[in-house]
């Protein structure tokens, strides 16, 4: 390469760089600028929808008293030392508190507002602040801790209510908007998508009804009881909880779907409480492993583990081992869906049930009944002497249980269960009789050992008194 050619090459490169330096900012500015219209239409905005629905979202201030139980100091019983401990001496005491949350007006004519049960828990005074600044005193119409839904009432004066949407039509990826009062910042709007549906196991409380919508729309303390709406401005959920290590939003929030809240609100307004009926079954999820063990065509539905004597399920002919696949024509994906659906029904309601039994579809009708408790009958005629075959459990999960052959090839009897053992964790009780493992009838311990050999999951059919139930060994 000669010197003249090099000079021309460097001159060209410098010219290109200069041109780029002049025009690049212009080009970047043109790319960064948002166009005023797209295809002749203005850019979409959530503002019109927010203006329409925001007046239906309120701030709720609560004042109340909680009772705190302190550990009683034994020295308080001595008159000499009592004066050093104050008047209560470690007795339960009351503490005043103030908290804040959100709510959604669902009936402007009656002044009804939905919020979370935990927002108004232990409340002595409730103040509702509207978007226009008005402060209204509220009273509790009804509250249901198991679904975390409450209804409060304010004077019906120039209120704006929100339209109820169908949360059952939501899909993962749908856009949603959360409106509430996080950290006391009234009428804050955040947006995101539906991250997941049907979330359970969120609440640490036992016996709760859960079918949460998970969203990444920012939800923070104070958002509880606020609105989760779709892009049409319809209420699809009541913001209820967050998953957080710091107490702030990390993109995982949960809302109670309107499909669950609607029935609860109806009962709270009519009765002041939720009058739940029961079907009378204990169920479990049908996992792929359980489906394979039981020879089911696919996972899904609710596996009936136990039927309570005298319950609506027993009267309808439901048996342990059945898989309930549909309720009132709606398919069930999980046993949680069955529990939630039954929890919304009242005593006396008739429900159409579709189930699988021995690979065949059956249909029954049950009249929802009141709660009943089955007591386990005492074991009779059992010997405490272990059989030689008890030395090694037929399955690792049976470790700690002494098993023996039932009379007349009637199955395998559970003779003893060591407290805290693996067998105790399965739910087996002394006196239970194992009659089936997966799809194999069990005559004795040897047959049980053969059926459980090399099986990671074993579904036992157990006879307990007059009841049959299923117990899954993993």
pLDDT single digits (tens) 271-285: 888 877 788 888 888
Q: Which residues pair with 436 in a beta bridge?
A: 441, 461
Do 175 and 193 meet the contact criterion of CB atoms below 8 Å apart? Answer: yes
Residue 372 lies in a domain: no
User: How far is the CA of 417 from the CAs of 369, 384, 470, in angstroms?
Assistant: 33, 11, 17
Residue 463 lies in a domain: yes
Q: Answer yes or no: are the C-beta atoms of 349 and 277 closer than 8 Å.
A: yes
Give a yes or no: residue 118 inside a domain: yes
Q: Residue 177: its pLDDT value, please?
A: 93
- The pair of structure tokens assigned to 261 is 């809240």
Indicate the residue among 336, 367, 398 that finishes a domain: 367
Same domain, 286 and 263: no
Q: Which residue has the tokens 């929030």?
A: 253
Query: Domain check: are 315 and 350 in the same one?
Result: yes
pLDDT band (50, 70, 90) for residue 246: low
Please return the burial class of 108, using the count of CB atoms within 10 Å of its CB with bins 0-12, 13-18 and 19+.
middle
Least confident segment among 17-31, 73-87, 152-166, 330-344: 17-31
Q: Which residues are catalytic?
A: 118, 148, 224
The DSSP result for 162-185, as a single string, is PEE--GGG--TT-EEEEEE-GGG-
Last residue of a domain, one of 153, 174, 194: 153
Q: What is the CATH number of the domain that holds 313?
A: 2.30.42.10
pLDDT band at 209 (very low <50, low <70, confident <90, very high): confident
Please say if the pLDDT value at position 471 is more than 60: yes
Let me know whether 243 and 289 are in one domain: no
- Confirm whether 45 is domain-assigned: no
356 and 415: one domain? no
Exposed/middle/buried for 2, CB within 10 Å: 0-12, 13-18, 19+?
Answer: exposed
Helix (H, G, I), strand (E, B) or coil at 422: helix
Asked if the model's pLDDT at residue 128 lies above 70, the reply is yes
Please report, for residues 72, 280, 355, the alpha-carbon distance to residue 358 in angstroms, rounded to integers and kept in the order given: 59, 21, 10
Q: What is the mean pLDDT of residues 371-390?
A: 36
pLDDT class of 28 with cuts at 50, 70, 90: very low
Same domain assignment for residues 416 and 458 = yes
- Measured distance CA(227)–CA(55) in Å, rounded: 11
Per-residue pLDDT reduced to its tens digit, 41-98: 677 788 899 999 999 999 999 988 876 655 555 555 555 544 455 555 555 567 788 8
Tell me: do 56 and 103 sit in the same domain: yes
Between these two residues, 191 and 204, which has the higher pLDDT value? Answer: 191
CB 192 within 8 A of CB 173: no
- Among 271, 302, 324, the domain boundary falls at 271
The tokens of 124 are what?
A: 């002595």
**What residues pair up with 107 in beta bridges, in sequence order?**
112
Please give the pLDDT value at position 205. Answer: 61
Hunting for tokens 């000499």 — which residue is that?
80
The residue among 214 and 377 whose pLDDT is bigger is 214
- 292 and 265 in a single domain? The answer is no
Residue 288 is assigned to a structural domain of this protein = yes
Q: Which segment of 99-108, 171-180, 326-335 scores lowest on mean pLDDT?
A: 326-335
Q: Give the Cα separation of 148 and 261 in Å (integer).
A: 9
Do the domain assignments include residue 457?
Answer: yes
pLDDT in tens, 132-185: 999 999 999 999 888 899 999 999 989 999 999 999 899 999 999 999 988 878
φ and ψ of 248, to 5 deg: -110, 175
My answer on whether 255 and 290 are in the same domain is no
Q: Are 337 and 424 in the same domain?
A: no
| 295 and 363 belong to one structural domain | yes
Is position 32 within any domain?
no
Q: Domain span at residue 141?
A: 50-71+89-153
Closest CA to 462 of 419, 422, 421, 403: 403
Closest to 288 (Cα-Cα) out of 277, 273, 303: 303
What gap in Å lies between CA 149 and CA 142, rounded to an integer? 9
Cα(186)–Cα(57) distance, rounded to whole angstroms?
Answer: 10
186 & 132 share domain: no
Please report the pLDDT score of residue 39 as a whole number. Answer: 62
In degrees and rounded to multiples of 5, residue 294 shows phi and psi of -95, 0
65 shares its domain with 100 = yes
Total domains, the chain: 4
147 domain-assigned: yes
Assess whether pLDDT exceeds 70 at residue 387.
Answer: no
Where residue 173 sits, what CATH number does that domain have?
2.40.10.10
């Amino acid at each position: 390469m000669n010197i003249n050619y090099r000079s021309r090459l460097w001159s060209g490169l410098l010219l290109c760089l200069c041109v780029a330096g002049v025009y690049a900012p212009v080009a970047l500015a043109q790319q960064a600028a948002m166009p005023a219209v797209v295809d002749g239409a203005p850019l979409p905005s959530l503002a019109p929808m927010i203006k329409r629905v925001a007046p239906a979202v309120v701030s709720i201030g609560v004042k109340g008293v909680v009772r705190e139980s302190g550990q009683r100091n034994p020295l308080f019983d001595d008159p000499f030392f009592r004066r050093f401990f104050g008047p209560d001496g470690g007795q339960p005491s009351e503490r005043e508190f103030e908290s804040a949350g959100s709510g959604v007006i669902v009936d402007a004519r009656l002044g009804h507002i939905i919020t979370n049960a935990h927002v108004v828990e232990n409340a002595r005074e409730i103040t509702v602040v509207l978007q226009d600044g008005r402060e209204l005193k509220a009273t509790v119409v009804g509250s249901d801790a198991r679904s975390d839904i409450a209804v409060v009432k304010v004077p019906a004066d120039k209120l704006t209510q929100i339209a109820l949407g169908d949360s059952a039509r939501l899909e993962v990826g749908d856009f949603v908007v959360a409106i509430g009062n996080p950290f006391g910042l009234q009428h804050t709007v955040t947006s995101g998508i539906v991250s997941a549906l049907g979330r359970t196991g969120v609440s640490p409380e036992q016996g709760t009804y859960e079918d949460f919508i998970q969203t990444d729309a920012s939800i923070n303390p104070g958002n509880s009881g606020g609105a989760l709406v779709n892009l049409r401005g319809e209420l699809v959920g009541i913001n209820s909880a967050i998953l957080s290590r710091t107490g702030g939003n990390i993109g995982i929030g949960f809302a109670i779907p309107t499909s669950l809240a609607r029935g609860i609100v109806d009962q709270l307004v009519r009765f002041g409480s939720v009058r739940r009926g029961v079907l009378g079954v204990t169920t479990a999820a049908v996992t792929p492993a359980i489906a394979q063990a039981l020879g089911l065509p696919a996972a899904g539905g609710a596996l009936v583990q136990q039927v309570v004597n005298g319950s609506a399920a027993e009267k309808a002919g439901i048996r342990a081992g059945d898989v309930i696949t549909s309720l009132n024509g709606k398919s069930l994906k999980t046993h949680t869906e069955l529990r939630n659906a039954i929890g919304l029904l009242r005593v006396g309601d008739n429900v159409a049930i579709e189930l699988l039994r021995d690979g065949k579809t059956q249909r029954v009708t049950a009249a929802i009944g009141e709660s009943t408790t089955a007591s386990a009958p005492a074991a009779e005629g059992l010997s405490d002497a272990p059989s030689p075959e008890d030395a090694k459990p037929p399955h690792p999960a049976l470790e700690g249980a002494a098993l023996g052959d039932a009379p007349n090839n009637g199955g395998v009897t559970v003779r003893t269960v060591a407290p805290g053992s693996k067998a105790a964790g399965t739910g087996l009780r002394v006196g239970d009789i194992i009659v089936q493992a997966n799809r194999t009838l069990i005559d004795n311990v040897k047959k049980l050992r053969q059926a459980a050999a090399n099986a990671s999951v074993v579904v036992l059919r157990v006879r307990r008194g007059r009841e049959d139930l299923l117990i899954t060994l993993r």
